[in-house]
Amino acid sequence: MKPYREMTREELSAELEELRAEYKKYQKMDLKLNMARGKPCIEQLDLSMGLMDALNSDADLFDEDGTDCRNYGGLDGIRECKELIGDMMENHPDNIIIYGNSSLNVMYDTVSRAMTHGIMGNTPWCKLDKVKFLCPSPGYDRHFAITEYFGIEMIPVPMTPTGPDMDIVEKLVTEDEAVKGIWCVPKYSNPQGYSFSDETVRRMARMNPAAPDFRIFWDNAYGIHHLYDIDQDYVIEILAECKRCGHPDMVYKFASTSKITFPGSGISALATSPNNLEDIKKQLQVQTIGHDKVNQLRHVRFFGDIYGMVMHMHEHAKILRPKFEAVEEILDQNLTGLDVGTWTKPKGGYFISFETIPGCAKQVVALCNKAGVQMTKAGATWPYGKDPYDSNIRIAPSYPPIEDLKIAARLFALCVRIVSCKKLLEERDKVEQAGS
């Protein structure tokens, strides 16, 4: 296809007229499709129905240490669950705390505790004149929502195919004591599906922060969420790397089973150094007597071990892979050669990231919504919801049935073409008016 920028005004106008006619056909279809959030589909949830049979009223509800999981206790989780999640996170069970169903809740608590009580004896953040967080962007909107809620200044850092721009990260972390943390989704990042390179992880572990209470918030949300059996990304384990570099306390590592079993009824975990664990448990023992040990036991009995979990994720991939490939194929068929956008082709995770011509993302999303396809709000992947380029759109292929997804992807591509045509025609009008 001929690039839009190489078309004459007449060709662009004719193209726009044809595209608008096609768009009207979609409007008449009365679509109600959702590609807004990375929710597992019904078929994925059905994979975990065995959880409901893993325990019953006749089951042995004692863990391997003899603890009655129905009763109080077990502040940091039952041992066999810590071993299972430790294998998933690539961390020793002794470095792990098992929480409830939401890792986002754990991240919120971690920031909140730092605000009110400080980290390992350092000044509580709420008593400081300024607190800053580095936010690789585009990034995860719920991360940004947490730091914004606490009034923490968010500094966007460019996200690259190998991770955040480490030249910028290193400079800010080592020179500014007000920089207290950085949000990271190291494997199959939200929204681009990028994974941190070995060099990125090693440079991050070797940083010498100006702030003694600086922490890397390492959200390993998609650690085992591969789309392919062989072609998979690997990320160096950050806690071990930091320990080797003499910075054992610099990381809080988060994970959960939210997109492995039931998102609303899974388990979450935090892995970190012994010093950080001691600091966290002082607060945790005031906050709770312990989390849901019956659910922890249920997950252990369901999976058996990490091999069972990996095999389970193969089944997830069988459902997700065709959806991702369908969206990528439709984008290739409808947009390749037009020079109106670029998109990622991740090997795992839950999202495809699309970059429009600058200044077009909001209009594309609005046009999709108008025709019955709900997308993530344009700008959501940037701190404060403000994309300085108005170009990033997050595509979530997981939830819709594949035939609906194909319709939504075709409509999305059509909207990209319409908005791009309009944008280029407007730019030519401005150039001509300036020259007259």
Of 335, 362, 281, 369, the C-alpha closest to 98 is 281
H, E, C per residue of 211-230: CCCCEEEEECCCCCCECCCC
When pLDDT is averaged across residues 175-201 and rounded to a whole number, the result is 98
141, β-bridge pairs: none
pLDDT on residue 435? 66
| Average pLDDT over the chain, rounded to an integer | 96
> What's the pLDDT at 71?
96
> What is the tens place of the pLDDT at every residue in 327-373?
999 999 999 999 999 999 999 999 999 999 999 999 999 999 999 99
Phi, psi of 159 (to 5 degrees): -95, 130
What span, in angstroms and rounded, lies between the C-alpha atoms of 12 and 396? Answer: 30
pLDDT band at 436 (very low <50, low <70, confident <90, very high): low
Q: Looking at the chain, which residues constitute the CATH 3.40.640.10 domain(s)?
A: 61-304
Nearest to 349 by CA among 199, 196, 208, 202: 196
pLDDT tens by residue, 142-162 = 999 999 999 999 999 999 999
pLDDT at 111 over 70: yes
Confidence bin at 432 (pLDDT 50/70/90) = confident
CB 296 within 8 A of CB 205: no
Nearest to 182 by CA among 192, 169, 171, 195: 169
> Would you say 34 and 395 are in contact if contact means Cβ atoms under 8 Å apart?
no
Give me the pLDDT at residue 429, please: 81
Superfamily of domain 4-44+310-429: Aspartate Aminotransferase, domain 1 (3.90.1150.10)
Specify whether the CB–CB gap between 141 and 383 falls below 8 A. Answer: no
**pLDDT at site 430:** 80
Distance CA 136, CA 434 (A): 37
Position 433 confidence tier, pLDDT thresholds 50, 70, 90: confident
> What are the residue ranges of CATH 3.90.1150.10 in the chain?
4-44+310-429
CA distance 21 to 42: 35
Fold classified for 61-304 = Aspartate Aminotransferase; domain 2 (3.40.640)
* pLDDT value of residue 37: 86
Q: Does the pLDDT value for residue 10 go beyond 80?
A: yes
